Amino acid sequence: MELTGTIGSLIGKKGGQVWSLDPAASVYDAITMMAEKEVGALPILDGRNLLGIVSERDYARKVILMGRSSKDTTVTDIMSSPVVSVSPSQTIEECMRIITEKRIRHLPVMESGRIVGMVSIGDLVKWVITAQQETIRHLESYIAGTPAY
């Protein structure tokens, strides 16, 4: 695992399960699903079309701080759009740069116009840490003169 590994590889290890919501869903529905699925953001899909993404950050800033009701507000009222997305062929390093520059925490992975996965900053950091651990293990084996396993 290296920083030049692809998002497709990460999705392959993580799994490509994507939970999403319809544009008519309430913010309450979104928060409930995020809690149940233990995710921090959900794509908003109209059929196969990605309209936006709603995150815990959107909820905090656009519902709670604005005094809105989560049951009376739709996800389209608070979602972030247009969405920054990536393709499975992009590298981990490219995605780390995008997330850092755009100050976002989640990236939908799109292929042929449809969403095939979601990656978070946590997924990317976990990949980098694992890659560093593998590099250290290989270097230790090299220094010790033992074969890497």
Q: Walk me through the domains of the chain, giving residue ranges and CATH numbers.
A: 7-144 (3.10.580.10)
Residue 145 has a pLDDT of: 79
Residue 1: band (very low, low, confident or very high) from pLDDT cuts 50, 70, 90: very low
Q: Are the C-beta atoms of 43 and 108 separated by less than 8 Å?
A: yes
Q: For the chain, give the mean pLDDT.
A: 91
Q: Is the pLDDT of residue 95 over 80?
A: yes
Higher-pLDDT residue of 64, 58: 58
The two tokens of residue 58 are: 């959107």
| pLDDT mean over 59-64 | 91
HSE-up (13 A, CA, CB side) for residue 72: 4
Neighbours of 124 (CB within 10 A): 22
Q: Is the pLDDT of residue 142 over 90?
A: no
